[in-house]
Amino acid sequence: MKLAARIGYWMVALALIAAILVSLDYTLTQAILISLIFLPCVLTLEYFLPKADSFLDKLWLCLAVLVIVILLILVIHRLLWSPFMRSEVWYMLDVQPVLVNPAFLGLMVTALAVGDYGWRKWLDKKWPSRPRQISFFSDRKTVTLSLDEIAYIESNDTEVRIVTQEGRSYRNKTGISQWENILGEGFVRIHRAFLVNKACITEVGSDSLLAAGTELPISRKYRKTL
């Protein structure tokens, strides 16, 4: 249901962009092709922006996406509407100045990203997802836990320790960096050796935090991100 709702959002959003382009004298087919450029660019921005550490990194990422949008618009005009096309409809179509205007394109990308973010948040509130489960090997046995059960991951040289909110712990050979990718945005790295469930954090100090009743260190490298 949530996936269908997100697809519906993008269909409506791209239809509105196509309508704007039609008003600029593009045909409906041309308008649809150009509007599709925005979809991968906005999704790329939404995915990588939260992972950027500093404001400067976020700014460079936004500028890079904006440049990519402009380049794709120019490329699609050059490749699809070139003098080699015989049809008069496609012949030498000039790029409308507004489509290479950084301010206009920035506004469009921002509106799409903000709209999609708000729509996802509303969908998550209306249809909460079930806690995702994860299975791993510990002491030659398969253990299955929901992500909500995991309080933190502690790295100890050649293995990690998965600690639950109830205090149970399991050993595993998967590296903590791999665990960080597996567990996703619900967990935050606070130290070279610690990955913590955000929902379990109750207190944050200058050099440590409290998660599920356990005090864990915060290293200087990850303090800003935290």
- Domain extents for the chain? 2-126, 133-223
Whole-angstrom distance, CA of residue 192 vs CA of residue 222: 9
Where are the strands (E) in the chain, listed by range? 133-138, 141-146, 150-156, 159-164, 169-172, 187-191, 194-197, 201-204, 208-211, 214-217
Q: Please give the full DSSP string across 16-34, using - where no structure is assigned.
A: HHHHHHHTTT--HHHHHHH
- Split at pLDDT 50, 70, 90, the class of 196 is very high
Q: Are 95 and 73 in contact (CB under 8 A)?
A: yes
- Characterize the bridge pairing of strands 194-197 and 201-204: unpaired
pLDDT of residue 130: 59
Q: What is the largest CA-CA distance in the chain?
A: 72
Q: Encode pLDDT of 15-69 as tens digits.
A: 999 999 999 888 898 899 999 999 999 988 888 887 776 788 888 999 999 999 9
The mean of the pLDDT values for the chain is 86
Q: How far is CA 169 from CA 163, 164, 177, in A?
A: 4, 6, 19
Which of the 8 DSSP states describes residue 218? Answer: -
Whole-angstrom distance, CA of residue 103 vs CA of residue 21: 16
- Split at pLDDT 50, 70, 90, the class of 88 is very low
pLDDT of residue 92: 44
Residues 6+ apart with CB under 8 A from 10: 39, 116
Superfamily of segment(s) 133-223: LytTr DNA-binding domain (2.40.50.1020)
Q: Which residues of 121-153 are buried (b: 16+ CB within 10 A; e: fewer)?
A: eebeeeeeeeeeebebeeeeeeeebebbbbbbb
Whole-angstrom distance, CA of residue 148 vs CA of residue 130: 10
Q: How far is CA 56 from CA 59, 63, 102, 118, in A?
A: 5, 11, 19, 24
Q: What global pTM score does this model have?
A: 0.57
